[in-house]
Amino acid sequence: MLELKNISFEVSGDSGSKEILQQINLLLPDDCFIAVTGPNGGGKSTLAKMIAGIEQPTSGQILLNGEDITHMEITERAQKGISFAFQQPVRFKGITVLDLIRISVGHDLTVSQACEYLSEVGLCARDYIHREVNGSLSGGELKRIEIATSLARSAPLSIFDEPEAGIDLWSFQNLVQVFENMKCKLHGSILIISHQERILNIADVVLVVVDGRIVRQGERDEVLPELLNSSDVGGCRFYQERK
């Protein structure tokens, strides 16, 4: 179980300081699929980065299964079982797709076993398995390879930052299926940042982040209709923050 207690994140710039996250409280139980949504610039990626250890909060506490991980680095959190797939996937010069899947799974794997992960994300495995994870891959290909490595890692908590970004419409249908399968197979929690109704539609819990605050959180069937029926852009302004 992951718990965020009063997490705030402030940055200083030329025009003074800015609070990107304000007093975030969140409880993420085990085996839960949570979708985080909200307008651009609301703080969703920053929230995910706090959990993964890419950014450190200015104040507050993050607990993983009761252990305080607030000041742990990203590598240590990864070892504790938090996996993070970036909005802009990272390139690994000199490392092949096969290497990356083998590293992710953490034990030896045959080529055909590794290929299964690529097939799951809709890539023709034989065309990609021996390719280097470098700039020669398109954004969408990198994104799918990153999702395949997350599947291989099968972490207790997998975080995906806008997995749909850069994925074409046809592949998007499959991507929704990938996450549905993941939800059934994975013994762990999934946190997805998404703007897509079809992704929100497969989540157990939907969380809405606006202006650095959680303005709404609850079961999908409760929150999604409110979001979709709201006339406001981002669908968020009318919600009251949950105390």
Positions touching ligand ATP (CB under 6 A) are 11, 20, 38, 40-46
Report the SS3 class of residue 168.
Answer: coil
Tell me the HSE value of 13 on the side-chain side, using a 13 A CA sphere.
6
Report the SS3 class of residue 158.
Answer: strand
Which of 13, 135 has the CB closer to ligand ATP?
Answer: 13
Other CB atoms within 10 A of residue 196 CB: 18
Which of 88, 113 has the CB closer to ligand ATP?
Answer: 88
- Tell me how far apart the alpha carbons of residues 78 and 67 are, in angstroms, rounded to a whole number: 14
* Paired tokens of 39: 């307008």
Which of 41, 106 has the CB closer to ligand ATP?
Answer: 41
Which of 43, 235 has the CB closer to ligand ATP?
Answer: 43
**Smallest distance, ligand ATP to C-beta of residue 44, A:** 4
**Smallest distance, ligand ATP to C-beta of residue 108, A:** 37
**Smallest distance, ligand ATP to C-beta of residue 34, A:** 15
Which of 125, 208 has the CB closer to ligand ATP?
Answer: 208
**Smallest distance, ligand ATP to C-beta of residue 193, A:** 6
Asked if 7 and 57 count as a contact pair (C-beta separation under 8 A), the reply is yes
44 exposed, middle or buried (CB, 10 Å; 0-12, 13-18, 19+)?
Answer: buried
Report the SS3 class of residue 23.
Answer: strand
**Smallest distance, ligand ATP to C-beta of residue 43, A:** 4
